[in-house]
Amino acid sequence: MASAAGGMEIEQVAAENPNAILKEYITPGMGLSAFQARKLAFQLGLKPRRSTKRCS
Amino acid sequence: MTGLYKAFEETDSSLMEINPFITCSDGRLFALDAKMNFDDNALFRHPDLKELRDVTEEDPLEVEASKYSLNYIKLDGNVGCMVNGAGLAMATMDIIKYAGGIPANFLDVGGGANAEQVTHAFEILLSDKNVKAVLINIFGGILRVDTLARGVVEAANKTNIQLPVVLRLEGTNVEQGREILKESGLNFIVAETMKDAAEKVVAAARS
């Protein structure tokens, strides 16, 4: 689950604005796929060049 | 994100969360805080994580209970309950609520508890000062009712209990169990059914 509506009670976000909660289903045998992680990153509004770059 | 999932899987977590994370103006991402919950039942696979346990951060009664492999969760009410089996314990808490009371705890002594565990369980129950009455609801399957009865009597004598105790016992060796309780000379309230037991203990907690 991911949400750009951070710093708030997530239950409240889910009740008032369910679209702000992003969900991606992970098949245990497959694990989280790269395309799923990318999809979430784009939906969160991270810029493409950002989402491939991360802090260590 | 993939790293988070990998960590989640490798540590047998029940929850892993990064909140909040921020983006810097130069485009870098920072995770500012995180939360991790680990599965107690998988901790034996992670001795390094087990090392991190800080008992001073936990409820002292729950720590005490875990020493004797008892499943004890402290709650806000005043009706203490001791039950064998998690399912029956949940049902007991429900029926206490249904009878108008509030359970003071969840306590599952397990399917095969011995007298010593029962004694410790009783002591833990009574060390919660909010408890005004105690309900012991046991269906003796693997745990024998006479074993339980001996544990209860021993604990009652040891702790010099002043609170009303309601008992609902059923199952293997129930006759011997009742005999032991009768001979103990202690003042227990014996209930026939769960409903009866719940009503009696709630009434006792109110008085």
Each of the 207 residues of chain B gets a pLDDT tens digit; together they read 888 999 999 999 999 999 888 888 777 788 889 999 999 889 899 999 888 888 788 888 888 888 887 888 889 999 999 988 888 999 999 999 999 999 999 998 876 677 778 888 888 888 888 899 999 998 877 778 888 888 888 888 887 778 888 989 888 888 888 888 888 877 788 888 889 999 999 998 887
**How many angstroms away from the CA of A35 is the closest CA of chain B?**
10
Which region holds residue B113: left if phi is over 0, alpha if psi is between -120 and 50, else beta? beta
> Which residues in chain B are contacts of A26 at CB distance < 8 A?
5
**How many angstroms away from the CA of A53 is the closest CA of chain B?**
7
Among residues of chain A, what percentage have pLDDT more than 90? 23
Judged by DSSP in three states, B64 sits in helix
Q: What is the pLDDT of residue B141?
A: 78
Q: Is the CB of residue B138 less than 8 Å from the CB of residue B169?
A: yes
Q: Please state the rounded mean pLDDT for residues A5-25.
A: 83
**How many angstroms away from the CA of A32 is the closest CA of chain B?**
6
Q: In terms of Cα–Cα distance, which of B199, B178, B66 is closest to B133?
A: B199
Q: Name which of A2, A37, A49 is nearest B27 (Cβ-Cβ).
A: A49
Is a pLDDT exceeding 60 seen at residue A53? no
Q: What is the pLDDT of residue B139?
A: 85
pTM reported for the whole predicted model: 0.65
User: Which tokens is B153 given?
Assistant: 């009597």
Interface-testing mutation among B1, B21, B24, with chain A (most A C-beta atoms within 10 A): B1
Judged by DSSP in three states, B14 sits in strand
Q: What is the pLDDT of residue B98?
A: 94
Q: What is the pLDDT of residue B192?
A: 82
Q: What is the pLDDT of residue A26?
A: 93
Is a pLDDT exceeding 70 seen at residue A8? no
